[in-house]
């Protein structure tokens, strides 16, 4: 009896997950992540810390910037997206790659200092920069980009606290405008097409 009720709970949880995946986004664009915000995210300029010093989004003017919010202790969701992004980067022409940057923003500044982040992101692709900041800075940037995250204590896991987080990738065009969001586990081809659209090159 206990087993079957757990199974039912699991099944309910799984179907809830599937339903939320299938729900159309606000712009009926299937690749858009569902955002739990009253107002759509506006994007905008920000400055966060990297191992090489502060990075300001507007300093990357002229390039397409992909922004992903996550944390390095995340064993599955974040690496899945970073590998997909890295594979998309590897499939770009050199001239396109020169104009594409990825910002991995850690929402776990307690465990991820900029040096640790730099080692982590280098594993995926040299065009990925690891950024973080104070909890206040991170909250502000995440809000602007529609990213949500929540620290969960008492998880019953040896990992200690966990961070629930949205898993989409924000696409910022060369003029610094937030133009698209790509859902969790978007395949490299979808990411590459979004980069090319934002660059204005042939998709």
Partner 1 sequence: MHAIRTLFAGVLLSSASLTLSAAGLEVGDPYVRAVPPGQSNSAAFMSLRNISTEEHALIGAESPAAETVELHTHVEEDGLMRMRRVGRIVLPAGETTTLAPGGLHVMLIGLKSELTPGQNVELTLIQDDGERLVIQAPVRRLEPMHHAAH
In the complex, the smallest distance separating the C-beta of residue 92 from partner 1, rounded to whole angstroms, is: 15
In the complex, the smallest distance separating the C-beta of residue 87 from partner 1, rounded to whole angstroms, is: 5
3-class DSSP state for residue 105? strand
Beta carbon nearer to partner 1, 27 or 152 = 152
- Distance between CA 141 and CA 49 in Å, rounded? 13
Beta carbon nearer to partner 1, 99 or 116 = 116
Interaction site with partner 1 (CB under 8 A)? 3, 6-7, 10, 13-14, 16-18, 20-22, 33-36, 72-77, 79-80, 83-84, 87, 116, 119-124, 148-150, 152, 155-159, 162, 164-168, 183-188
Beta carbon nearer to partner 1, 47 or 87 = 87
- Distance between CA 70 and CA 120 in Å, rounded? 12
Beta carbon nearer to partner 1, 79 or 176 = 79
Counts for the chain of helices (H) and strands (E), in that order: 6, 9
In the complex, the smallest distance separating the C-beta of residue 147 from partner 1, rounded to whole angstroms, is: 9
Nearest Cα neighbor of 73 from 139, 136, 130, 120 is 120
In the complex, the smallest distance separating the C-beta of residue 193 from partner 1, rounded to whole angstroms, is: 14
Nearest Cα neighbor of 24 from 203, 145, 183 is 183
Radius of gyration from C-alpha coordinates of the chain: 17
In the complex, the smallest distance separating the C-beta of residue 182 from partner 1, rounded to whole angstroms, is: 10
Measured in degrees and rounded to the nearest 5, phi and psi for residue 47 equal -130, 130
Beta carbon nearer to partner 1, 10 or 200 = 10
């Amino acid at each position: 009896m206990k087993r079957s009720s757990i199974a039912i709970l699991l099944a309910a949880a799984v179907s809830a997950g599937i339903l939320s995946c299938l729900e159309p986004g606000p712009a009926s664009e299937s690749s858009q992540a569902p955002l739990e915000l009253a107002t759509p995210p506006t994007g905008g300029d920000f400055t966060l810390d990297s191992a090489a010093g502060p990075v300001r989004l507007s300093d990357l003017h002229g390039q397409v910037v992909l922004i992903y919010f996550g944390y390095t202790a995340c064993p599955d969701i974040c690496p899945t997206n970073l590998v997909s992004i890295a594979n998309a980067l590897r499939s770009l022409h050199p001239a396109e790659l020169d104009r594409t940057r990825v910002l991995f923003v850690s929402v776990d500044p307690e465990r991820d200092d900029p040096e640790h982040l730099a080692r982590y992101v280098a594993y995926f692709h040299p065009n990925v920069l690891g950024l973080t900041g104070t909890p206040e800075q991170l909250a502000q940037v995440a809000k602007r980009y529609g990213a949500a995250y929540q620290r969960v204590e008492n998880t019953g896991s040896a990992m200690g606290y966990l961070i629930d987080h949205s898993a989409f990738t924000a696409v910022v065009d060369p003029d610094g405008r937030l133009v698209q969001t790509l859902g969790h586990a978007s395949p490299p081809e979808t990411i590459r097409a979004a980069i090319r659209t934002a660059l204005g090159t042939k998709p």
